[in-house]
Structure 1
């Protein structure tokens, strides 16, 4: 901030000083008394004058001196901020007075050719230099990474679900990113919470305790892991797919037709779960949480470079989560272990390996509260538990991740990503089914048991680069993907009448799969689904093919 003040030649110096001291607020820098002429003569500058200036802030004292000496004065307020002056008493020339006032302040006064004076930082030799302003540092991030961990952001401008990093603005569909920062801040621990936190997406419980994802009215049956599409909603009976979010960096969601991204996709969209990677800087994070319904958990996340060169990076994550529910007798225990290694074979080639295991045990209540004939509410409390004390459910999921990326130059990249998943879902539980009469009767107990196991394998590979032709720059993608899903599912059930909804029998005899099947039979089914895809993309030219279950769709 620079200021200039002038006085008329006929105005006495003492009166100008008094008026100036009253008119200028404290801290407003630096007043400059007007000159008698546009250019003060050298003789006037050498004239001695008596001064009696009281102690005060340096800017106020310099203002008073300028007014009394009749000089024009300019300065930057940052140079005198926070500085004080003992005042000035005695006869001095202008140069002597300024030198006395600035003694020990690290500042110099420089006389300009037009007779005015300017304030500057003192140089090492004491010679006058041009006025120096405070330094300003400007930083910019030239390259934006899709990784959200450590970004302190609730959004990202780059996604990876379209084979390689690309800006959201270049994707002609609605895309959202649920970042690691938002998941941590809002306590999002599972995929149901995650999907319900994204605009236009709904995550609902299916027939089983698993998750069904809907977007734009359509079900999303394939989920991507590091860009590799995997079938996750193909079961003989209901849906039991679930996913914790502990070791994922972000969840990318595309709304709208997704066949371009994952082969036979959903008209509703696609989701892509991207895992955390090995860290370059050593760090360890300990997290504890507590919430309603006896919910609590703890997590340790540690990683860093494993060699002096930083070419080998590792990470380990352990997560424990326990909770009860607003529904009586319902509880849940979840354990997650994850480890990752990333190694730079060279400055242009990186390989990544990850392994995870998630175990979930619970006492569930499935299906929900029964209704009366016609679907009306019969008035049961929301905490009503319809199961038995032996209700139990278990989910085990193990994943192996592998990827390789080679950067030929700044325009061409090759990547291969693969995943192998084994999953086991089992449950034995009591449920209540049917429509109740006004007395809360007419419904049945159902003893239900399921034993689902599945194996999934898949990979996605592509070559991506830029070429110049016809005075334009074009992007070329050549790629292929493959996924295979095999399942071995079995379920059994029996029915028993005599339910009184106002006196539910939670202590009915213990049941397991074999005891229920002995009264009925075990029903089995298998899936063998295979999908292959080839992608060639240049100026919107594309060819894809999909095979499923040994057959080819029309």
Structure 2
């Protein structure tokens, strides 16, 4: 009897309820696992800039994760000096309020409120400090929400804390692993239009592997492991699975920030390649959400309109809404010989609603919808002598990629008592795509023979991650414990067609001829995958030592059926993943660390004998140093690492189009990064990576010791963004340089891709509510390719010069 999925394209309420109840029972049951004591004097590192007291209190509450209330007239016109120290909450508030005549008082529910201090009059009698006669409505700052913690620091390049690495709000200095964060401010300054744009200026990420892809696939490598877009794609802490030709796209304008955690991270995230994960953080409703409308025009007939609108929807301020949208009408750098351009059109909508259920609880409801209409034509012909051309292999009447995706979900944050809080993230997402393409087969003289292919894909994904977080003190030890249950189900249906196509004369190509879409059905796939992950983590602060201990157990079942044949493949995999991290915070702002962690990644498919592929396993050892100059929004990091991955998928030398899992790859490397504000008005994002990746074991003995394809040994980047200030009021200028070193195009390392040096530039003008900006990538229009020489030479053209002129009105 076939199994019945509890969720499919048509939502089934019973299945969702079962997932939610399982998570809730585990979380509530965890309350009895640990002693319930009074809340510890939780010490955190705070970075608060000098300025208005109201702004300082706002940032402090978000970094501390507390609720703080006060009347606006109590703080009006008051200033504070900078605060950069590791303190308990009460001590931090006391330092901020010193000399103001105010004090913070903690209520029974764990929240804080400001009160006037009483002085001592004659005879020791208390004397009230004079208050203003008119009191305004109290302001409530809820800093305990997950998204509020993400938003802190988004006005600059550097941030104080991250949620991705440990699934708790942890200062970056205390995270014993290599982590990079790209804020909204940096994305806007660099004009980042895609995830590849976001990743360009960070170490360990190579984004120039497959050139420009009109289909919206974000090809990149992390720490020497290729195709990380398939294995490292996370949104708001939940995985965006990939199956067949179905891949969830990410609209960069809808992101608040992007966090890249490098190395083996399965103890936190479950399924992930040992190169790391890319966690995209969405814009959601909240106190700090802006209002803006933006219009832009650019190269290749690009026209776009975007809006980010927020509002408080009730008088009490407990319901806040936000709507993010973008409409894009554009072509790409590719065009056919008859003048038809390859399009890139997109429509994106993302509403969210924040409900303040009580002083200790809030719920964020969020959704998104994305529709794209683009061409699939990017294959360019290669002449028999190996020389490259710009002649597209396909035809504008046949090549297309049409996709549609949507998601619904929530983020719940509930404080249970002074020590415990319950958090839950849920998302149900679906996509469908229709991908049609003409592929090259062989060249004879000037004639290129072609074949047609078409893929119709439907993919649904349902995920529920529930976390119970507790904090308490045990003698000299401060504990932050995390218990979690992560459930995921993915279902995919894909129909694959093939057909014939007329040959193309490369000397005189003719486009627009009638070509029938591929119609011969050769595969009708149905895949269902389920994952259950249970994890536990303890962050222990013992004086200057910060330990991060974590373990996770994942169980994955995968069933794939092909109705053409027919055939069926069932696989099961389970594994423990671990993390041990140690940071030493003895010297303020200078923190050395050590990390050992493991990775686990199931691999769909089977070998030539019909046996399912074994899961891939990874191990990492990393040592590093983080330096944050006191009182500055600037972070320097250095990491030295070694990662090994077992059961790497490798071409079977005995069987065509088959793979084996008998190889091992070991990258070693150094990563350096500087991110933040060098001087007032001058921001920097600098990175360097040295990556030595080799096959330490291979099914083909001749390839042992060789390097995997598309992994550069050296890569470096530097971006500077300068606002002169009064001398050039409102003006800003920025520029960057990106270097990608030579890398191999084939397994035996006999064919190389050349090194590439690219320049970017930016010019902006701020006038009141308006900002005008000109962003240019690949300023000198350097034309380059990234090639794969197996089984035949295939090359992908990198992005040509792209200019975007935009105008933004913000209020």
Q: Does the 8 Å CA contact 1:355/1:401 hold for their aligned counterparts?
A: yes
Aligned to 1:418: 426
Paired residue secondary structure (1:445): strand
More strand by proportion, 1 or 2?
Answer: 2
Corresponding residue number in structure 2 for 1:82: none
Q: Helix, strand or coil: the match of 1:499?
A: strand
Shift of 1:399: 0.8
Q: Does the CA contact (< 8 Å) of 2:355 and 2:362 recur in 1?
A: yes
TM-score, structure 1 normalization: 0.68
**Aligned CA distance change for structure 1 residues 150 and 339 (closer, same or farther; 3 Å):** farther
Aligned twin of 1:467: 472
Shift of residue 531 of structure 1?
0.8
- Native 8 Å contact 1:357 1:398 kept in 2: yes
- Asked whether the 8 Å contact 2:206–2:222 carries over to 1, the reply is yes
**Cα distance in 2 for residues equivalent to 1:492 and 1:136:** 68
Q: Alignment partner for residue 252 of structure 1, among 233, 255, 259?
A: 259
Residue 493 of structure 1 pairs with residue 498 of structure 2: yes
Output the CA distance in 2 between the equivalents of 1:371 and 1:493.
23
Q: Which residue of 1 aligns with 2:370?
A: 358
Shift of 1:184: 1.7
Contact preservation (8 Å) 2:246, 2:457:
no
**Aligned mate of 1:404, from 412, 437, 441:** 412
Instruction: Write out aligned runs for 1:159-178 (5 A).
Output: 159-161=162-164, 162-178=166-182
Aligned match for 2:361, one of 328, 346, 349: 349
Structure 2 residue aligned with 1:138: 81
Which whole-Å CA distance do the structure 2 matches of 1:159 and 1:333 have between them?
A: 34
CA contact (8 A) 2:258 2:280 kept: yes
TM-score, normalising length: structure 2: 0.47
Larger radius of gyration: 1
- The residue that corresponds to 1:371 in the other structure is 382
1:440 aligns with 2:446: yes
8 Å contact from structure 1 (residues 281, 305) kept in 2: no
Paired with 2:252 and 2:441, the residues of 1 have a C-alpha distance of 36
* Match 2:294 to one of 259, 264, 287: 287
**SS of corresponding position for 1:153:** coil
Structure 1 stretches of 4+ with a deviation exceeding 6 A read 141-144
Offset of 1:290 from its aligned partner? 1.7
What does residue 194 of structure 2 align with?
A: 190
Shift of 1:471: 2.9
Per the alignment, residue 226 of structure 1 pairs with 236
Counterpart-to-counterpart distance in 1, 2:289 and 2:156: 21
1:491-550 residue CA offsets vs partner (Å, 9 max, x unmatched):
2122345321122231221534xxx21xx3342212211111001223625241222316
CA separation of 1:472 and 1:137: change in aligned 2, threshold 3 A? closer
Answer yes or no: is the 8 Å Cα contact 1:264–1:546 preserved in 2: no
Match of 1:428 in 2: 436
- How many Å separate the matches in 2 of 1:280 and 1:553? 43
Query: Residues 200 and 525 (structure 1 numbering): CA distance in 2 closer, same or farther, change over 3 Å?
Result: same
Describe the shift of the 1:216–1:541 C-alpha distance in structure 2 as closer, same or farther (beyond 3 A): closer
**Cα distance in 2 between the residues matched to 1:239 and 1:207:** 15
Residues 479, 150 of structure 1: alpha-carbon distance in 2 compared, 3 angstrom cutoff: closer
Contact 1:282 1:305 in 2 (8 A): no
Matches of 1:307 and 1:282, distance apart in 2: 16
CA displacement 1:437-484 (0-9 Å, x = unmatched): 5x433x312222110110001011111122222431122111110111
Answer whether contact 1:148 1:156 (CA < 8 A) is retained. no
Inter-CA distance 209–406: structure 2 relative to 1 (3 Å threshold): closer
Q: CA deviation at 1:197?
A: 4.0
Larger deviation, residues 190-199 vs 245-254: 190-199
Q: Distance in 1 between matches of 2:272 and 2:495?
A: 27
Q: Which residue of 2 aligns with 1:152?
A: 155
Paired with 2:239 and 2:511, the residues of 1 have a C-alpha distance of 42
Q: Deviations over 1:97-127 (max 9, x none)?
A: xxxxxxxxxxxxxxxxxxxxxxxxxxxxxxx
| Structure 2 SS opposite 1:548 | strand
Deviation string, structure 1 residues 117-150 (Cα, Å, up to 9, x no partner): xxxxxxxxxxxxxxxxxx9852559689543487
CA distance in structure 1 between the partners assigned to 2:368 and 2:432 by the alignment = 14
Q: Residues 304 and 140 from structure 1, CA distance in 2 versus in 1: closer, same or farther, beyond 3 angstroms?
A: farther
Structure 2: 5+ residue runs without aligned partners? 1-77, 85-91, 93-142, 336-340, 541-548, 560-570, 575-811
Counterparts in 2 of 1:68-79, with a 5 A limit? none
Question: Alpha-carbon deviations, 1:295-329, whole Å to 9, x = none?
Answer: 12111111021112211110012211122122212
Say which structure, 1 or 2, has more relative contact order (CA 8 Å, 6+ apart): 2
Query: Could you tell me how far apart the structure 2 residues matched to 1:137 and 1:262 are?
Result: 40
Partner Cα separation in structure 1 for residue 198 and residue 484 of structure 2: 30
Counterpart position of 1:202: 206
CA distance in 2, matches of 1:309, 1:444: 68
How far, CA to CA, are the matches of 1:137 and 1:344 in structure 2? 29
Distance 1:213 1:418, change over 3 A: farther
Among 469, 481, 485, the alignment partner of 1:480 is 485
CA distance in 2, matches of 1:146, 1:282: 13
Matched position secondary structure for 1:545:
strand
SS at match of 2:187: helix
Determine helix, strand or coil for the equivalent of 2:516.
coil
Distance 1:524 1:211, change over 3 A: farther
Distance between the aligned counterparts of 1:174 and 1:227, measured in 2? 17
Q: Which residue of 2 aligns with 1:546?
A: 555
**DSSP 3-state at the match of 1:307:** coil
8 Å CA contact 1:210–1:239 kept in 2: the answer is: no
Alignment of 1:110-129 (within 5 A): none
8 Å contact kept, 2:153–2:160: no
Structure 1 runs not aligned, ≥5 long: 1-134
Which moves more between the two structures, 448-457 or 491-500? Answer: 491-500
**Structure 2 contact 376–436 (Cα < 8 Å) conserved:** no
In 1, Cα distance between equivalents of 2:497 and 2:466: 41
Secondary structure at the aligned position of 2:189 is classed as helix
Contact 1:280-1:310 within 8 A present in 2 as well:
no
Provide Cα deviations, 1:308-367, integer angstroms capped at 9, x if missing partner: 22111100122111221222121111100110000111010001101110000012314x
Note closer, same or farther for the CA distance 1:363–1:454 as it changes in structure 2 (3 Å cut): same
Mapped to 1, the partners of 2:282 and 2:198 lie a distance apart of: 15
| 1:310-329 paired onto structure 2 within 5 Å | 310-328=317-335, 329=341
SS at match of 2:197: helix
SS in 2 for 1:181: helix
CA contact (8 A) 1:350 1:404 kept: yes
Q: Distance in 2 between matches of 1:190 and 1:197?
A: 13
